[in-house]
């Protein structure tokens, strides 16, 4: 009988592998440095290491779930396929024109995000739909063939087809896709009506181009990874995490890989919501910090907040409008700072700066002994005594402390500070950067951070979470078991999920409610087919209906949840009430006597994964004393190093409580607790830290 579930998360620095034994409730983890030349190599090395250690049997694996930052990195670094664009005649410059709004109004040296498709690779075909989806000019296949041939002669490997108003009627795009696949079978084709079937030409074209750009990479990567996993003896199908926090099957991910751009961070947010629910009443700031970046997600009511678009490859890291718009459903995340590999420096004015440049895994921090020479956050954390050089990544990675100290001394000399002072400065600057960004993110959503608990995950998250929580004025910090591989664990609790959208342009006061219900039913039928293809039971699927609504005359929409269907003339008023409730929650008041218009409708389908509900149940502590030893660690409250008790996380039992300061170690992460705090192990196995007032 199959008993193991395997989660694989490829990050910018480490690849995390988790095996969960559904029969015993135990989990086995590996953190391996990510192999940039071939990311699948680290995956297979980790899987084989766990199998060789006798921690699972490949043949008894029931499911494999994977998330990766590979496609995000390819998009940012422009390492995708050479991509062309075919548009309706007269619209080849949509990607270049973009939006009129400048993200830096007074910046005369502003840089627009560079299109994934240069102008010489954008061609046109003769066809035209009107805004209602009626055919004005039939598709001229001769012009289509001529456009495609010109792109092929220019060396294009992938083509995005974006025809005007295809969101209302995709017939011409589907005809074009069938024609191109027949004429040019080796050409990768993406059509906008399959990727982003919603109004607004620039955003739709940008999303379709991004999908085309990474699609050949995704197809070859998924095929290669599936073959390599099968070669280990695992017969379970490969499932992929999508950005909205759910699972899909390989064929769907290969068709629209743009859905996976935020898959790794989404898994971390999902894990935070799952493991922290009982100890924070569903009100969490899920804080995930790894070797390259840190992310924060607001969890309210037990669910991560969802956004319906984000920006990739921003010119200005934290400035909205400076990146490429991607219209997909995604867990709403903010990148709030640096990771363990972020490099510290003294700038021209003598100020200490940390990041955004990162050492990654190659060459990595100086402490990794792989050629890195510059001081990083990880080097500072070793120097402060927070990390154990003899037990880093569970002892699987040897640490060169001499190189770490040498790197710290070089920057300390430039700043004319002692080694401990510069190390604490690096640690504190990173914490302040993250806390500052978090304050803005939370305030923009009308929340008070003091109402939330901070849940820390990632290899570096628990090291920094205590002082981030202090800066935010929080009272509680939560750290789940195996926090260092929480994103991989999040993969194993994710449900099957499908997000669908359609443009309807319906005014509630006079729209055809039967037609609106028919549109929702079409989305539901499509979602159910994907759920079934993912290998899940369609009868267990739950649905949530939403709409992008606005008052007539407004320029942009607000996404609001709607009541369950079916809809008819008797439910027209219920839909308006639902929109007004969402509008009032966002803006506090509603205008009087203004009609409501739904631009797009949305459907989210979720199906539970059998066995996922068992994950995270507390397991018995290993026998033996939980206290490992003591070592000096730096705490600013004391102003110097303090002899600090080090605890073995796996030997801590539910119900135990202690006073800070403390260092709590497991194989993948280290939790730091400052002086004056009290901490305990909850019934669910989380370490819950109560910060001093």
The pTM for the full model equals 0.88
From CA 349, how far away is CA 60, in angstroms rounded?
Answer: 60
Cα–Cα separations (whole angstroms), residue 215 to 74, 150, 220, 257: 11, 21, 9, 6
Degrees, nearest 5: CA angle 394-400-405? 120
Residue appearing with tokens 């910046």: 107
From CA 597, how far away is CA 499, in angstroms rounded?
Answer: 21
From CA 287, how far away is CA 295, in angstroms rounded?
Answer: 6
Length of the chain: 693
- Maximal C-alpha separation, the chain: 79
210 close to 246: Cβ distance less than 8 angstroms? no
70 close to 37: Cβ distance less than 8 angstroms? no
Q: What is the mean pLDDT of residues 439-446?
A: 84
In this structure, of 12-26, 175-189, 464-478, the range with the lowest mean pLDDT score is: 12-26
**pLDDT tens profile 217-268:** 999 999 999 999 999 999 888 999 999 999 999 999 999 999 999 888 888 8
CATH number of 496-608: 3.30.1490
From CA 643, how far away is CA 641, in angstroms rounded?
Answer: 7
Band of pLDDT at residue 122, cut at 50, 70 and 90? very high
Burial class (CB in 10 A: 0-12, 13-18, 19+), 396: middle
Residue appearing with tokens 């009988």: 1
**Residue-wise burial string across 322-350, b where 16 or more C-beta atoms lie within 10 A, e elsewhere:** bbbbbbbbbbbbbbbbbbbbbbbebeeee
Band of pLDDT at residue 619, cut at 50, 70 and 90? low
| Residue 82: closest CA among 54, 109, 44, 116 | 116
From CA 298, how far away is CA 437, in angstroms rounded?
Answer: 13
From CA 17, how far away is CA 7, in angstroms rounded?
Answer: 6
* HSE-CB for 599 with a 13 A CA cutoff: 17
Most confident of 437-441, 448-452, 566-570: 566-570
SS3 labels along 541-565: CEEEEEEEEEECCCCCCEEEEECCC
Higher pLDDT, 599 or 100: 599
Specify the pLDDT at position 14: 81
From CA 33, how far away is CA 48, in angstroms rounded?
Answer: 15
Band of pLDDT at residue 282, cut at 50, 70 and 90? confident
Higher pLDDT, 656 or 109: 656
Specify the pLDDT at position 4: 86
From CA 62, how far away is CA 53, in angstroms rounded?
Answer: 19
**pLDDT tens profile 573-616:** 999 999 999 999 888 899 988 999 999 999 999 999 876 655 65
Higher pLDDT, 257 or 106: 257
Q: What are phi and psi of 154, to 5 degrees?
A: -90, 0
Specify the pLDDT at position 169: 96
In this structure, of 25-39, 80-94, 155-169, 408-422, the range with the lowest mean pLDDT score is: 25-39
CB neighbours of 421 closer than 8 A, spacing ≥ 6? 412
- Residue 413: count other Cβ atoms within 10 Å of its Cβ: 12
Beta bridge partners of 188: 158
Which sign, positive or negative, has the C-alpha torsion 379, 384, 386, 390?
positive
SS3 labels along 160-210: EEECCCCCCCCHHHHHHHHHHHHHCCCCEEEEHHHHCCCCCHHHHHHHHHH
Band of pLDDT at residue 321, cut at 50, 70 and 90? confident
Beta bridge partners of 303: 300
From CA 326, how far away is CA 308, in angstroms rounded?
Answer: 9
CATH number of 4-75+219-260: 3.30.420.40
- DSSP states along 259-290: GGTTHHHHHHHHHHHHHHHHHHTT-EEEEEE-
Cα–Cα separations (whole angstroms), residue 23 to 52, 61, 485: 20, 12, 20
427 three-state secondary structure:
helix
Examine the pLDDT at 617 and tell me if it is beyond 60. Answer: no
Q: What is the mean pLDDT of residues 432-444?
A: 87
From CA 245, how far away is CA 604, in angstroms rounded?
Answer: 11
How large is the C-alpha radius of gyration of the chain? 26
Q: What is the mean pLDDT of residues 436-462?
A: 88
- DSSP states along 342-378: EEEEE-TTS-EEEEEEE-TTTT--GGGTSS--S-BHH
Tokens describing residue 100: 């009129």
In this structure, of 30-44, 173-187, 450-464, the range with the lowest mean pLDDT score is: 30-44
In this structure, of 481-490, 550-559, 680-689, the range with the lowest mean pLDDT score is: 481-490
Domains of the chain: which residue ranges? 4-75+219-260, 80-215, 342-427, 496-608
Band of pLDDT at residue 120, cut at 50, 70 and 90? very high
Q: Do domains 4-75+219-260 and 496-608 have the same CATH topology?
A: no
Specify the pLDDT at position 497: 95
């Amino acid at each position: 009988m199959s008993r193991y579930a395997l989660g694989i998360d490829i990050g910018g620095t480490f690849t995390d592998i988790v095996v969960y034994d559904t029969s015993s409730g135990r989990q086995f983890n590996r953190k391996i440095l990510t192999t940039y030349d071939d990311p699948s190599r680290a995956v297979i090395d980790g899987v084989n290491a766990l199998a060789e250690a006798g921690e699972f049997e490949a043949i008894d694996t029931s499911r494999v779930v994977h998330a990766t930052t590979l496609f995000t990195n390819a998009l940012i670094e422009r390492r995708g396929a050479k991509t062309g664009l075919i548009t309706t005649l007269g619209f080849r410059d949509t990607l270049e024109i973009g939006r009129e709004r400048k993200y830096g109004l007074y910046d005369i040296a502003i840089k627009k995000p560079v299109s994934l498709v240069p102008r010489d690779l954008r061609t046109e075909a003769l066809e035209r739909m009107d805004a209602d989806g009626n055919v004005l000019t039939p598709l001229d296949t001769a012009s289509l063939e001529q456009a495609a041939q010109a792109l092929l002669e220019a060396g294009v490997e992938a083509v995005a087809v974006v025809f005007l108003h295809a969101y209302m009627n995709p017939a011409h795009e589907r005809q074009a896709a069938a024609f191109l696949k027949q004429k040019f079978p080796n050409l990768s084709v993406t059509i906008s009506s399959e990727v982003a079937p919603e109004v607004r030409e620039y955003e739709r074209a940008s999303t379709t181009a991004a999908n085309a750009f990474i699609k050949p990479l995704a197809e070859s990567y998924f095929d290669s990874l599936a073959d390599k996993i099968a070669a280990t003896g695992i017969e379970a199908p490969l499932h992929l995490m999508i950005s909205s926090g759910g699972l899909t099957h390989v064929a769907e991910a290969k068709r629209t890989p743009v859905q996976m751009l935020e898959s790794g961070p989404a898994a971390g947010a999902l894990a935070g919501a799952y493991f922290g629910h009982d100890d924070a009443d569903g009100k969490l700031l899920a804080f995930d910090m790894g070797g390259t970046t840190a992310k924060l997600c607001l969890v309210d009511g037990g669910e991560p907040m969802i956004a319906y678009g984000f920006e990739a490859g921003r010119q200005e890291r934290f400035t909205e409008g400076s990146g490429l718009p991607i219209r997909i459903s995604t867990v709403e995340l903010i990148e709030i700072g640096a990771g363990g590999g972020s490099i510290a420096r003294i700038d021209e004015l003598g100020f200490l700066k940390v990041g955004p440049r990162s050492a990654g895994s190659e060459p990595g921090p100086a402490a990794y002994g792989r050629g890195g020479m510059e001081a990083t956050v990880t080097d500072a954390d070793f120097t402060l005594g927070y990390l154990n050089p003899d037990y880093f990544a569970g002892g699987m990675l040897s640490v060169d402390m001499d190189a770490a100290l040498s790197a710290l001394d070089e920057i300390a000399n430039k700043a004319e500070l002692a080694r401990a002072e510069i190390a604490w400065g690096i640690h504190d600057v990173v914490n302040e950067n993250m806390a500052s960004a978090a304050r803005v993110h939370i305030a923009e959503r009308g929340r008070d951070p003091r109402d939330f608990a901070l849940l820390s995950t990632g290899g570096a998250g628990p090291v920094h979470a205590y002082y981030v929580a202090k800066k935010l004025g929080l009272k509680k910090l939560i750290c789940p078991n195996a926090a260092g591989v929480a994103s991989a664990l999040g993969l194993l609790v994710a449900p099957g999920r499908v997000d669908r959208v359609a443009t309807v342009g319906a005014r509630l006061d006079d729209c055809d409610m039967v037609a609106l219900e028919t549109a929702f039913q079409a989305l539901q039928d499509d979602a159910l087919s994907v759920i079934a293809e993912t290998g899940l039971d369609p009868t267990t699927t739950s649905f949530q209906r939403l709409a992008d609504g606005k008052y007539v005359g407004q320029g942009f929409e607000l996404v609001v949840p709607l009541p369950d269907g079916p809809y008819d003339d008797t439910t027209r008023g219920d839909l308006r009430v639902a929109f007004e409730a969402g509008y009032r929650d966002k803006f506090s008041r509603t205008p009087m006597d203004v009609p409501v218009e739904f631009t797009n409708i949305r459907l989210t389908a979720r199906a539970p994964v059998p066995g996922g509900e068992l994950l995270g149940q507390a397991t018995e502590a290993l026998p033996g004393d939980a206290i490992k030893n003591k070592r000096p660690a730096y705490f600013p409250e004391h102003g110097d190093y303090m002899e600090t008790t080090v605890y073995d996380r796996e030997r801590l039992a539910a119900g135990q409580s202690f006073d800070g300061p403390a260092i709590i170690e497991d194989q993948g992460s280290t939790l730091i607790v400052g002086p004056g705090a009290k901490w305990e192990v909850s019934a669910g196995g989380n370490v819950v830290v109560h910060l001093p007032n």
